[in-house]
């Protein structure tokens, strides 16, 4: 659990972060969003003390981080950044092993950990361990960057726009991978992005920042439904809000029991309502058949059910 209590940070007397109080629960993905220069990256660097607080305290599991040794603190936290910051003179395996090495793990344990992480990110050890960062594609390099952040088995993972420089398709597959891996490892993740769809997709809760202050801290659906002010409403795309909310809702939660013949066009139960709507528009139909991953028909999704949203 991370607690920020009245945290401010000034640069030459100008506040970048001001009076920030926030509680991030263990195991959640907290995404900080906002326009450039709103203080979201600064907040992240305050958490691992790459920057010091000008005032206020940050506590992790009740302990004031200002009292801890900064380097040890950082080794307990994973850190992944936009341009990966992989060490160009080291192989992938050595890059991932940085923190375990700093923690003075025995060599066999480091190797086993590197192997495990590479497999977790779908990068076969045999073909990737000895590559240099310059030999990786953007998506592979970023996977290695995140694997490196996880290597020391940290309780907390800090991610500063880690997928920002990737093309949309790679970005989406890495987002899915992050969610898949998080479902297994349950880390506390603080994730900074300016991509609102990414925020809505990944977050347990979203912190919206503007000019160094928290504007709203809420779950994705509540942010869409009850924006705190015009800034948040604007940020989450006014006219597009309905579609954005639909992309958070799963077809499986809205479908009705199947009666009679299954409709011709099918949608996956795990797909979003947004995808379902798109299919309806494309095929000019008001009814979809809902199927599971194996293709079994589970139910039916009429357009009325889409408009109604998930049933409680």
- Contact positions toward another protein, by CB under 8 A? 48, 50, 70-75, 79, 81-89, 98-99, 102, 130, 132-135, 145, 148, 158
**Six-digit token string for 55:** 């005032």
Q: Which is nearer to another protein, 117 or 300 (CB)?
A: 117
Q: Which is nearer to another protein, 123 or 158 (CB)?
A: 158
Dist CA 113 CA 42 (whole Å): 31
Q: Which is nearer to another protein, 70 or 264 (CB)?
A: 70
In whole angstroms, the minimum distance from the beta carbon of 67 to another protein comes to 17
**Six-digit token string for 206:** 């979203």
Q: Which is nearer to another protein, 21 or 127 (CB)?
A: 127
In whole angstroms, the minimum distance from the beta carbon of 232 to another protein comes to 30
Dist CA 302 CA 273 (whole Å): 11
CA-CA-CA-CA torsion sign (302, 306, 307, 311): positive
In whole angstroms, the minimum distance from the beta carbon of 71 to another protein comes to 5
In whole angstroms, the minimum distance from the beta carbon of 102 to another protein comes to 6
Q: Which is nearer to another protein, 102 or 262 (CB)?
A: 102
Q: Pairing state of beta strands 188-192 and 29-33?
A: parallel
In whole angstroms, the minimum distance from the beta carbon of 36 to another protein comes to 17
């Amino acid at each position: 659990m991370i607690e920020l209590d009245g945290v401010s940070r000034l640069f030459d007397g100008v506040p970048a972060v001001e009076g920030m109080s926030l509680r991030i629960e263990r195991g959640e993905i907290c995404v900080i969003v906002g326009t450039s220069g709103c203080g979201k990256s600064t907040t992240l660097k305050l958490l691992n003390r790459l920057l010091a607080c000008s005032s206020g305290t940050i506590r992790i599991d009740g302990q004031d981080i200002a009292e801890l040794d900064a380097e040890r603190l950082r080794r307990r936290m994973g850190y992944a950044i936009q341009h990966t910051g992989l060490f160009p003179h080291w192989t992938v395996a050595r890059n991932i092993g940085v923190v375990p090495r700093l923690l003075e793990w025995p060599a066999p344990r480091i190797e086993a950990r590197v192997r495990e992480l590479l497999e977790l990110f779908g990068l076969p050890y045999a073909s990737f361990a000895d590559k240099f960062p310059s030999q990786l594609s953007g998506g592979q390099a970023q996977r290695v960057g995140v694997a490196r952040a996880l290597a020391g088995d940290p309780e907390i993972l800090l991610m500063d726009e880690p997928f920002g420089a990737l093309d949309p398709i790679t970005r989406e597959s890495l987002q899915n991978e992050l969610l898949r891996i998080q479902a297994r490892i349950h880390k506390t993740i603080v994730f900074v992005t300016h991509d609102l769809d990414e925020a809505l997709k990944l977050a347990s809760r979203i912190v919206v920042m503007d000019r160094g202050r928290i504007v709203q801290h809420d779950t994705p659906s509540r942010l869409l439904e009850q924006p705190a002010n015009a800034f948040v409403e604007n940020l989450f795309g006014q006219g597009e809000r309905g579609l954005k909310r639909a992309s958070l809702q799963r077809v499986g939660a809205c479908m009705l029991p199947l009666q009679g013949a299954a409709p011709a066009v099918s949608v996956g139960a795990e797909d979003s309502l947004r995808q379902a709507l798109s299919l309806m528009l494309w095929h000019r139909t008001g009814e979809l058949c809902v199927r599971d991953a194996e293709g079994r028909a589970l139910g039916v999704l009429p357009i009325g059910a889409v408009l109604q949203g998930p049933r409680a």
